[in-house]
Structure 1
């Protein structure tokens, strides 16, 4: 009987571990953290404890990066590639892949939580990628695009146009916080505290 209980306990433990690997929102952030080079972070304009992380995918196109990430974990929403960018939306994260403006052979990968996108991004960044009602639903804000557009007109310095287009968000700190430069430093997902 003890052997049966021990075997059942081991089986239950194995199943719990197997079910948790790669399926949580931390999973895709951890995957990106382990596969790509942490390059920079971008501070939230209103919440200094919140930030997005920028990773560098050297010698990889947007399509290559997207295929790698999607093969690890399927997003809830995926845009087409348009104007040198593609967006993958997960339960708690946006993964925004853009062509590196400094080197077209590379891609940038921004990992940002929903709060960062909701409170910082310009709705025009998503033009042609998603219908605004999709973003309203994901970000849990009625008319997010219209409300955010008004905020952007009132204070353009607090309206983020994406890492590749602006070279870094000019929010509270006025310059991005460099986390790893062009070294091979690896980092965690948003909020990992590294």
Structure 2
């Protein structure tokens, strides 16, 4: 087998044809891999930006909780309880999944929120966890939220022999009252 291959390479008639075809195939495979990597990056960035937008939108809905007890540029979710004469946390995580469904056009499918193209899915979101970090009173910190969500994207490279990309996205969103 190796003798045949060596003889083919030594031929003077069309000897470069095999080499050129091999180089083109390798270049095509590399280009397909790079384009798949870029596709995954674009999807992950789009989902991250949408999660951040949804959490900021929920924070904006919490505006009255955050601003009513604060003065000037402070932002914190506290409310004064006159009965116990102390400040109590007053925060609400809202419905981030509903905002995400509206922003990204997702459909609920079991425990997943799925973006579908025709009958196939483009990506799945699951296990959303929102941690609201309430800043202390009289601080210059921002009212912020850390969001964790699982993203699963099937690979189109490898003809479905490769498992889907699964990552846990961490998104930090901050809110501070302007006035």
Q: TM-score, normalised by structure 2?
A: 0.30
Q: TM-score, normalised by structure 1?
A: 0.28
Kindly indicate which of the two structures has a greater share of residues assigned to strand. 2
User: Highest CA radius of gyration, 1 or 2?
Assistant: 2
Higher relative contact order (CA 8 A, sep 6+): 1
